[in-house]
Structures are given as C-alpha cells and as structure tokens.
DNA sequence: ATGGTGGCACCGCCA
C-alpha cells in the first residue's frame, strides 16, 4: 500500500479553495488533512473537492473558527470526531483507511488542531493557554489509554501549535517565553509523544540540528528573507509504522502563492507492508 | 519595547 499524505492548516478552506486545488494538482496527495477550515459542515466545499478526486470526505466543522477535514482517494470507514477537551470545539477527526492487503489491519489516521493558546504563557492568567495545556494532557491520557488496545498502526497529523525542538523556531532564546515554544508546552507535547511512543516523521528525515519550519507569521513582510518561522505542523506515526514514511517534504512554495495561508503543507509518502 | 497581518462574524474574537 503506497500513498501520499499531506497536512495543511488552510486558514479558511472557502477563501483558499483555489490554493487547495493548485496544491492538489501540483503535489497530488492521496489523502489531505486540513485544519482551520473555519466553516460548518454544510458550507464545506464538498463538490469542488470531490471534483479533485477525493471521493471520501470526513468533516468536523464549526462556525467561524477551527474545524478539520480529511479528504481521501482511498476509501475509509469508521469516522470519529472527538471533543477532546469537552468545549465543543471541532479539533479532531480520525478515519480508518481501508487496507487492500490480505491481512487488512486497520490504519487509523488522526487529524488534529491543538488550541493556539493565546498570547500570555501563564495558565493562571490566560484561559486559552490553560485550555491548550489541558488539551495536550487530554491527548496524552487518551493515547495512553489506547496503548493497551490493538491500535498499533496509527498516523497523527495536524497543527499541534507547539515547536518542540530548538531548531523548530528561528530563535530558541528569543522564543522561550513566546507561546508555542515555552518549556511547559514542549513538556506537555513530549508527554503526548511518549503516551504512544509516537515517532516524529519530519525529524526522521531532517536532522534535528537543521532548522525546519512550517509556519511564518503574516506580520513578517519578506518571510523568506527574515525566515522567522516555526515548526507547528507535524506528522507522527506509531512505532509499527516507523520506516513506512519513505520521504517527507515541506511544501513551502505555497507560502508565496497569492493570498497564502500562514502555514504550509507537510507531505509524507508512505509504503506500508502487508502484515 | 513595540507593533506588525489576516479571517470571520459582527461591532470583537481568534489566530
């Protein structure tokens, strides 16, 4: 089973439908996970995306904010939306990809949008930061609980809104007190990662000494020159799929397309064996 | 030390 998987925080799917079309025609993903679609299910541009070849769609929308969607050329079953922190936000969607192989072991794909967390990195002063930490803890608890079960073939993608490594930000020192790179968030994300022994696919392909970003603020005029980026978007797999991601690309060319998202897509090619 | 931009819904919130 071979397929190309992409994840992209699109920052309004309706406004940037043309960018999605251009991305799909250029990079030809088989499965595309979107975050921040910013629309309710009813106004999701399903027909236009079906026309691009994605016959299988799962949408978890919400009015105005957040929202995730998973589009696929590969059939899937078992769509699940999970309200991870109990606030009614649409921040998670998982689908079970059908495996054409003989053993048909399920492959569970999680699409996540972790709360950004506001500006003040203090849970006592900033409820949004509190929510972010709670959300990450809930993720760790949930995946830790799942660990006992048979779900050993999972992929997790999305905007996790945390840049864990020093080289995941343009300046480790200058961002230590900036939400997305504070030690308390990095530790919380590390607990999520440890909860199911998740493998950081992007860093299996790019050494941790090298800078690697997926997001550049709209406030930086010349984003490529100043290069004040962060790696907020991630692709993880369970250890059973370690090595299945044979290549990885950050499609940063999209950041120069007209009216871009502030995030760029991350792409991984998977080759998954039968058992 | 500050402010810089963008989307959606509504006269601010969230990123």
- Smallest CA–C1' separation from A11: which nucleotide? B7
In whole angstroms, B5 C1' to A82 CA is: 32
Nucleotide nearest to A115 (CA to C1'): B15
CA A174 to chain centre: 25
Which nucleotide C1' is nearest A159 CA? B15
Q: How far is the CA of A75 from the C1' of B11 (A)?
A: 45
d(C-alpha A105, C-alpha A98), whole Å: 8
**Structural tokens at position A138:** 């809930």
Residue A108 pLDDT level (bands cut at 50, 70, 90):
very high
| Cα(A5)–Cα(A137) distance, integer angstroms | 26
Nearest alpha carbon to residue A114 among A199, A201, A193, A1: A193
Confidence bin at A253 (pLDDT 50/70/90): very high
CA of A145 to C1' of B15 (A): 31
Q: Per residue in A77-98, pLDDT tens?
A: 899 999 999 999 999 999 999 8
A64 CA vs B11 C1’ separation (Å):
16
Number of Cβ within a 10 Å radius of residue A239: 12
pLDDT, tens digit (0-9, with 9 covering 90-100), for A177-196: 999 999 999 999 999 999 99
Greater pLDDT, A102 or A120: A120
Looking at strand B, which nucleotides approach a protein CB closer than 7 A?
Answer: 3-9, 14-15
Strand B neighbours (CB under 7 Å) are A 11-12, 14-15, 38-39, 63-66, 115-118, 128, 161, 217-219, 259
Q: Which residue has the tokens 């009216």?
A: A259
| Alpha-carbon dihedral angle through residues A96, A98, A102, A105, given to the nearest 10 degrees | 0
CA atoms within 13 A on the CB side of A90: 21
Whether the full predicted model's pTM is greater than 0.85, yes or no, is: yes
pLDDT > 90? residue A273: no
- Checking if the pLDDT of A4 tops 70, the result is yes
Q: CA at A71, C1' at B15: how many angstroms apart?
A: 24
A267 near A6, Cβ under 8 Å? yes
- The predicted structure's pLDDT at residue A173: 97
Q: For residue A201, name the pLDDT band (cuts at 50, 70, 90).
A: very high
| Mean predicted confidence (pLDDT) in A57-63 | 97
Distance (Å) from CA A199 to C1' B9? 39
**In the structure, how far is the CA atom of residue A219 from the C1' atom of nucleotide B4, in angstroms?**
5
In Å, what is the separation between the CA of A11 and the C1' of B15?
A: 9
Nearest-CA residue relative to C1' of B4:
A219
Instruction: Report all structural domains of chain A as residue ranges with CATH numbers, in order of start.
Output: 2-271 (3.60.10.10)
Q: Which nucleotide is nearest to A259 (CA to C1')?
A: B6
Please name the residue whose C-alpha is nearest to the C1' of nucleotide B9: A64
């Amino acid at each position: 089973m071979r397929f190309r998987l992409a994840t992209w925080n699109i920052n309004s799917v309706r406004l940037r439908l043309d960018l999605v079309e251009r991305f799909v025609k250029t990079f030809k993903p088989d499965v595309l996970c979107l975050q921040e679609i910013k629309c309710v299910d009813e106004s999701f541009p399903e027909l236009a995306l079906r026309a691009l070849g994605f016959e299988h769609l799962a949408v978890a929308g919400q009015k105005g904010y957040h929202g995730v969607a998973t589009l696929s050329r590969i059939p899937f079953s078992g769509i699940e939306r999970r309200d991870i922190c109990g606030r009614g936000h649409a921040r998670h969607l998982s689908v079970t990809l059908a495996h054409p192989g003989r053993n048909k072991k399920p492959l569970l794909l999680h699409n996540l949008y972790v709360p950004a967390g506001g500006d003040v990195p203090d849970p006592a002063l900033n409820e949004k930061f509190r929510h972010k930490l709670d959300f990450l803890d809930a993720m760790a608890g949930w995946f830790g609980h799942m660990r006992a079960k048979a779900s050993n073939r999972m992929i997790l993608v999305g905007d996790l809104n945390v840049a864990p490594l020093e080289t995941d930000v343009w300046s480790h020192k200058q961002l230590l007190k900036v939400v997305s790179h504070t030690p308390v968030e990095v530790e919380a994300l590390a607990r999520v990662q440890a909860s199911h022994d998740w493998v950081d696919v992007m860093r299996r392909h790019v050494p941790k000494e090298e800078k690697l970003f997926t997001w550049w603020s709209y406030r930086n005029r010349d984003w490529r020159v100043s290069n004040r980026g962060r790696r907020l978007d991630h692709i993880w797999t369970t250890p059973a799929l370690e090595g299945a991601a044979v290549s990885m690309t950050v499609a940063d060319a999209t950041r120069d397309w007209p009216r871009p998202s502030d995030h760029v897509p991350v792409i991984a090619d998977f080759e998954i064996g039968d058992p």
